[in-house]
């Protein structure tokens, strides 16, 4: 039995994959989802079912809410129950420091769309137990995924690269180098990227991208990670170029 | 059919000559070295031959295509050209000299295009009295296979020059994308974080070369990871592009090169062409 808590559409995206391989899934959203939008294989509940063997926290854009969720999981689940938590905008190490038993938590590279790919990155902390690591690896294997173990740092590997690609393309748009669609065309034809940077941001969600960039800038403190004002504006206005 | 002049018969110049001749244009291919010219003609012949084997082109068409290419080592022959694409070495003074030579010999309404990937089109155009006719036409390697051409609008490029150049790129079977004359244009600029962040992630010990490439391929769906791609492009070439954009933007931190790039170049680990880069290749 797996319990997923956090942001839409990540909860549905990963929840459906779990349900398809036979896990019983219960989900809880940060903001209530309209009933008709809940995929049929998922059951929504405000309480965490007894017998939950693995809990997954998927919040990137609201650190306070994420902390509340993690503390709720700790309060509701026995001490040995493993927690897999998105560690793209808050390190797994910081999240584990909120817990009385930090050995139960490991980080995951969770972003919309990327959750459906063939490989996911996981980040253990200095306190993550071998049992936690093996439980999570087995779980991801059952989902048919490869894993890559990376150091526990903001943005991990792919989210950091992708969000910085979006940031650069956004600066190029702002500076009137070329319009968004032409940038996508050029990047796909000129470099063989599967999607252009503007399309990536559309799939992932500009607010998610903004959160990753904001966390990178805060963590690394370098001008290199300055957020393109266009990303900031579009994230605040909840708009982007749809593809 | 119109005549296209091409200056410089290296990989790019030769490839552009191939594309232009295949699209039915008469081509005048220029290089100061007859050796380089002969090698370019040989390579075009080999590449066209591959086209026959793949069933993309008939043997007859290959013969006609080859006959449309004439080689020369003097600019005196350039008077009938309607458009010239300069694909010489990436040095501003060399390109400026070529453009002022071309201006004296070509028709006043001939378009003068540069295939530069890293220099300012506006700076190259400064050597020409009528800079309205100067434009960037950035092909990608190898030109006969890559669909994209960045059409670069210099500060003084006229709308008519841009329109004609876009039309021409389409006649060559390419997809033109118009970009203003900004450092790195679109592709070289927007691809910087792909390498730059990967190098940072490696440098900070977050993941290994192999893992970063695997993550980018399998989690991102990219055909190649950043280190495999740097090995293919040439670590020195990619480093030079990064440095050029960094310098042209007066040290914008987003484009700052990484010490790993310098170390690899110092060691001669330039990628596939040196049999060693981030990976080792069979000798």
What CATH number does the domain containing A138 carry?
3.40.50.720
Residue of A168, A176, A184 to mutate, testing the B interface (most B Cβ within 10 Å of its Cβ): A168
Range of the domain at A49: 2-149
Taking CA atoms, A192 is separated from A51, A163, A195, in Å, by: 46, 18, 8
- A112 lies in the same domain as A15: yes
Chain B nearest CA to A146, separation (Å): 8
Are A21 and A38 in contact by the 8 Å Cβ rule? The answer is no
pLDDT > 90? residue B241: yes
- A98, A118, A149: which is the final residue of a domain? A149
- A102 in any annotated domain: yes
- A118, A149, A180: which is the final residue of a domain? A149
- A94 lies in the same domain as A171: no
pLDDT tens digit string along B17-59? 999 999 999 999 999 999 999 999 999 999 999 999 999 999 9
pLDDT > 70? residue B1: no
In the block, tokens 């793209």 appear at A88
C-alpha span between B261 and B241 (Å, rounded): 12
Domain of A211, CATH number, reads 1.10.1040.50
Domain B191-274: which topology?
A: 1.10.1040
What average pLDDT score do residues B95-122 get?
A: 96
- A36 lies in the same domain as A126: yes
- A67 lies in the same domain as A136: yes
- A24 in any annotated domain: yes
Helices (H), B126-282: 159-171, 187-190, 192-203, 209-218, 226-233, 235-248, 259-267
pLDDT > 70? residue A130: yes
Mean pLDDT of chain B: 96
C-alpha span between A190 and B98 (Å, rounded): 27
Q: Indicate if B150 belongs to the active site.
A: yes
- A23 lies in the same domain as A140: yes
- A116 lies in the same domain as A35: yes
- A176 lies in the same domain as A137: no
Provide the 8-state DSSP code for A33.
P
- A101 lies in the same domain as A19: yes
Which secondary structure element, helix H or strand E, spans residue A54, and what is its range?
A: strand A54-58
Provide the 8-state DSSP code for B144.
T
Q: Quote helix, strand, coil % in chain A, to nearest 5.
A: 50, 15, 40
Residue B114's pLDDT is what? Answer: 98
The interface pTM score, or ipTM, of the predicted complex is 0.97
Beta carbons within 8 Å of B210's beta carbon, 6+ residues apart: none
What average pLDDT score do residues B201-209 get?
A: 98
C-alpha span between A69 and A80 (Å, rounded): 17
Residue B19's pLDDT is what? Answer: 97
- A104, A129, A149: which is the final residue of a domain? A149
pLDDT > 80? residue A66: yes
- A138 lies in the same domain as A162: no
Task: Report whether CATH 3.40.50.720 matches the domain B3-180.
Answer: yes
C-alpha span between A215 and A241 (Å, rounded): 23
Residues of B in Cβ contact (< 8 Å) with A189: 140, 146-148, 175, 177
Pairing of β A105-108 and β A119-123: antiparallel
Q: Indicate if B188 belongs to the active site.
A: yes
- A227 in any annotated domain: yes
pLDDT > 90? residue A166: yes
Number of domains in chain A: 2
Strands (E), B90-187: 111-114, 134-139, 148-153, 175-180
- A145 lies in the same domain as A162: no
Domain boundaries, chain B: 3-180, 191-274
Give residue A34's pLDDT band: very low, low, confident or very high (50, 70, 90).
confident
- A112 in any annotated domain: yes
Q: Indicate if B38 belongs to the active site.
A: no
- A168 in any annotated domain: yes
pLDDT tens digit string along B155-187? 999 999 999 999 999 999 999 999 999 999 999
Residue A206's pLDDT is what? Answer: 98
Contact A157 B211 (CB under 8 A): yes
- A226 in any annotated domain: yes
Tell me how far the alpha carbon of residue A203 is from its chain's centroid: 13
- A75 in any annotated domain: yes
- A97 lies in the same domain as A168: no
Give residue A212's pLDDT band: very low, low, confident or very high (50, 70, 90).
very high
- A242 in any annotated domain: no
Give residue A33's pLDDT band: very low, low, confident or very high (50, 70, 90).
confident
Residue A37's pLDDT is what? Answer: 86
C-alpha span between A116 and A237 (Å, rounded): 27
Residues of B in Cβ contact (< 8 Å) with A209: none
pLDDT > 70? residue A150: yes
- A59 lies in the same domain as A167: no
Classify A122 as helix, strand or coil.
strand
Among the partner residues A118, A120, A182, nearest to B178 by beta-carbon distance: A182
* β-strand partners of A119: A146
């Amino acid at each position: 039995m797996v319990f997923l808590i956090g942001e839409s559409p990540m909860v549905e995206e990963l929840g459906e994959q779990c349900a398809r391989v036979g896990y019983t899934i219960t989900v809880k959203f940060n903001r209530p989802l309209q009933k008709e939008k809940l995929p049929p294989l998922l059951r929504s509940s405000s309480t965490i079912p007894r017998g939950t063997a693995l809990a997954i926290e998927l919040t990137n854009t609201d650190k306070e809410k994420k902390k509340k969720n993690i503390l709720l999981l700790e309060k509701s689940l026995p001490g040995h129950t493993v927690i897999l938590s998105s560690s793209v905008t808050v390190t797994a190490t910081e999240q584990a420091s909120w817990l009385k038993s930090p050995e139960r938590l490991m980080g995951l590279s969770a972003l919309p769309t990327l959750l459906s790919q063939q490989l996911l990155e996981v980040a253990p902390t200095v306190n993550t137990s071998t049992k936690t690591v093996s439980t999570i690896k087995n779980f991801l294997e059952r989902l048919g995924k490869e894993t890559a173990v990376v150091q526990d740092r903001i943005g991990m590997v792919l989210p950091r690269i992708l969000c910085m690609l979006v940031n650069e393309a956004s600066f190029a748009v702002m500076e009137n180098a070329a319009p968004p669609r032409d940038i996508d065309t050029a990047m796909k034809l000129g470099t063989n990227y599967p999607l252009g940077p503007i399309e990536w941001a559309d799939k992932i969600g500009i607010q998610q991208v903004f959160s990753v960039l904001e966390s990178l800038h805060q963590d690394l403190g370098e001008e290199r990670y300055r957020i393109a004002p266009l990303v900031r504006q579009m994230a605040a206005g909840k708009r982007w170029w749809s593809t | 059919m119109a005549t296209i002049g091409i200056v410089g018969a290296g990989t790019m110049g030769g490839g552009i000559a191939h594309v232009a001749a295949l699209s039915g244009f008469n081509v005048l291919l220029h290089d100061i070295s007859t050796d380089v010219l002969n090698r370019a003609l040989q390579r075009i012949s080999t590449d066209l031959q591959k086209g026959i084997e793949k069933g993309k082109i008939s043997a007859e068409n290959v013969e006609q295509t080859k006959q449309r290419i004439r080689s020369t080592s003097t600019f005196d022959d350039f008077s009938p050209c309607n458009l010239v694409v300069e694909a010489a070495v990436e040095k501003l003074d060399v390109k400026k000299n070529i453009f002022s030579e071309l201006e004296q010999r070509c028709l006043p309404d001939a378009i003068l295009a540069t295939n530069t990937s890293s220099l300012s089109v506006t700076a190259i155009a400064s050597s020409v009295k009528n800079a309205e006719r100067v434009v960037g036409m950035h092909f990608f390697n190898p030109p006969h296979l890559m669909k994209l051409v960045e059409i670069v609008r210099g500060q003084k490029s006229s709308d008519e020059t841009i329109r004609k150049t876009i039309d021409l790129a389409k006649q060559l079977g390419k997809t033109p994308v118009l970009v203003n004359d900004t450092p790195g244009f679109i592709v070289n600029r927007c691809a910087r974080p792909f390498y730059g962040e990967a190098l940072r992630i490696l440098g900070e010990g977050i993941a290994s070369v192999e893992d970063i490439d695997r993550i980018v391929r399998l989690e991102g769906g990219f055909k190649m990871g950043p280190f495999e791609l740097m090995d293919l492009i040439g670590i020195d070439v990619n480093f030079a592009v990064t440095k050029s954009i960094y310098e042209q933007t007066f040290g914008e931190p987003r484009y700052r090169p990484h010490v790993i790039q310098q170390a690899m170049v110092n060691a001669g680990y330039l990628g596939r062409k040196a049999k060693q880069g981030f990976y080792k290749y069979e000798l």
